[in-house]
Structures are given as C-alpha cells and as structure tokens.
Chains A and B, each alone.
Chain A
Amino acid sequence: MKLSRDLSCAEIVELVTEYLEGGLSPHDRERFEEHLGFCDWCVTYLEQMRLTIENTGRLREEDLEPELQDALIDVFRGWRTE
C-alpha cells in the first residue's frame, strides 16, 4: 500500500480533470482525496478549477441574433420548394 503523500501537488494539478470527471480509479481517488486532506493549497486549486468551469459555463448564450434566425427560416423555406 502506497502512502498518501506519494502524490505531489504537481501531480495533483494534472489529475484534477480526471478527478472532477470521475475518471480516477477508486484507489487513485482515495490517494487524491487524502492529499487534499492535508494540503490546503491544492484544495484552493481544485476550488479555482470548479469556479473556472462554472464561469466558463456562463458564456452560453440562449438566443441567436434575429437576423440569423430569419436567414435560417429562409434556408428552410428555400429547401421546401426544392
């Protein structure tokens, strides 16, 4: 059994995405979380990554410009008469 301290901070930052996406094996996940248990800096890093993802999601737009929407309806009407 490997010691939890085997994982360095430099390794943690490379595993963050796998961790968040559920890609780590149960064993690695445990080692990852053990590291977080004693390293506040990596906790901060993980938190920043969550904030990054959350704020990136805010770029999502709900609507198209009306001009483009109209142009697409024209595409549809044109196709219907093909």
Chain B
Amino acid sequence: MASPESITAPPEAPGEQRLVDALRAGDELTFARLVREYGPGMLRVARNYVSTQAVAEEVVQETWLGVLRGLDRFEGRSSFKTWLYRILTNIAMSRGERESRTIPFATLAGDDVGDEPAVDPGRFLTEGRWAGHWAVPPESWAAPEPRLLEAETRQIIDRTIAQLPESQAIVITMCDIEGFEPEEVCNVLDISLTNQRVLLHRARARVRQALEDYLGEARTR
C-alpha cells in the first residue's frame, strides 16, 4: 500500500517508538541521553535564528518542553530527529521574529538563492579563447604547518557563518557541522532539494573565500 506517507517516511524505526514510550513513562535516563545526543546541535541551529546565546538556550529549553508535552502527537511518520528539529526551528523562528531580527524563512530563502557567484567574477578572464577560465587562480593551501587545524581557522569559519544570510547559515550548520542528510534538512525546513543545494553552495563558497583571504594574508605576513 503506497500512500504518500509511506514513500517519504523512513523505514519503521521500532527503537524510536520505544524511546518515545520511555519518555512518556518519565524515564529520566532516556531524556538525559537524548539531551546529550541532540542538545549541542539544537543549540547551534537555534543560534542562527536569534541574537544571543542566552535566547538560543531558552529556545532549546522551550523545545524540549514542547517535545515532552507533544509526545502523544508523535506518530513516527517522520524520524524523531526530524520531528524534534521541526519543533526547534518553529520556536526559534518565532523567537527570532519577535526580536524582529529575522524575516520568515520562506521569504528569506527566496532572496538567498539569487545569482551571487561562488567566486568573484573578476577572477575569471572575460575575453578571448580562454574566457571564463581563471585569471586569478586559487593558490594551493598546502602549508608546511597544519594551519587549517588552528583555533583561528575555526574562529574564521564560525564568524563567516554568523554573517551569512540566515537560511544559508542554517543549512550549512545542519549539513556540514551537524551532519544532517540533505533529505533531513529538506524535511525540517520544508525546502526543496534544489533549494537546499543552492543555499549550501553559496554558504560553502563564502566560507572557502574567507579561508582563502585568511591564508593569503598569513602567507604575506
């Protein structure tokens, strides 16, 4: 029987129903385990919607309360993780709106998928047989010391992501930091796979550029 749900739903996950049953029964160990597993990622994703760490922490607390109160509504049609993050992003989004820092995701997503190129167009030849090929090519990052492991690199990446348009920041956080599958991101955020890829592409391009700027500076220092 192929109902629309059965196509998109993950394979039956009996573990998840057991999990929900344990929570419903008030099992604190199960709750603590879930908090350890999902908490850090939830906090980081929430942080993209709101202006301070403190508000992001409140969002995480509100989310868990929402999850606990909504346990009876969990039907296993999506994975527990998707369900959890849908609640999180809804709460984070409305908190962000109240702070009037953000516009709804759908509106933003439309703006962020414009034609902004991955690399400054000035770095490609515009004329002749090699038009469209590198005029200012990237230089290899193969540095003698493992520069890319340094704390400064992490800081640059962190800062660059914080400055991205919100929907790009959320997508790169979920995909490249928290390791979500593309389909999970689409299900949580209600966006298409194409949209997800474009947002991820723009975000990664900006982070790469920031690292290139940093490593170029370091080289001439």
By the criterion CB–CB under 8 Å, are A9 and B134 in contact?
A: yes
A residues near B36, Cβ cutoff 8 Å: 63-64, 69
Answer whether residue B86 sits at the interface, using C-beta atoms and an 8 A cutoff.
no
B residues near A42, Cβ cutoff 8 Å: 134
Answer whether residue A56 sits at the interface, using C-beta atoms and an 8 A cutoff.
yes
By the criterion CB–CB under 8 Å, are B35 and A48 in contact?
A: no
Query: Which one, B6-14, B72-80, B116-124, is touching chain A?
Result: B116-124
Contact of A76 among B68, B158, B161 (CB under 8 A): B68
By the criterion CB–CB under 8 Å, are A64 and B39 in contact?
A: yes
The size class of the interface chain A forms with chain B is 35 or more
| Distance of A78 Cα from B158 Cα, bound (Å) | 35
By the criterion CB–CB under 8 Å, are A75 and B64 in contact?
A: yes
Contact of B118 among A16, A21, A62, A73 (CB under 8 A): A16
A residues near B28, Cβ cutoff 8 Å: 73, 76-77
Contact of B204 among A39, A44, A53 (CB under 8 A): A53
Q: Which residue of A lies closest to B28 (CB)?
A: A76
B residues near A80, Cβ cutoff 8 Å: 26
B residues near A69, Cβ cutoff 8 Å: 32, 35-36, 39
B residues near A79, Cβ cutoff 8 Å: 65, 68-69
Residues of chain B at the chain A interface (Cβ within 8 Å): 26, 28, 31-32, 35-36, 39-41, 43-44, 57, 60-61, 64-65, 68-69, 117-119, 121, 124, 131-134, 137-141, 148-149, 153-154, 157-158, 161, 172, 176-179, 182, 197, 200-201, 204-205, 207-208, 211-212
| A and B contact pairs by CB, cutoff 8 A, 8 listed | A9-B124, A11-B132, A21-B197, A44-B138, A44-B139, A68-B60, A69-B39, A72-B64
Residues of chain A at the chain B interface (Cβ within 8 Å): 8-11, 13-14, 16-18, 21, 23, 39, 41-42, 44-45, 47-49, 51-53, 55-64, 68-69, 71-73, 75-77, 79-80, 82
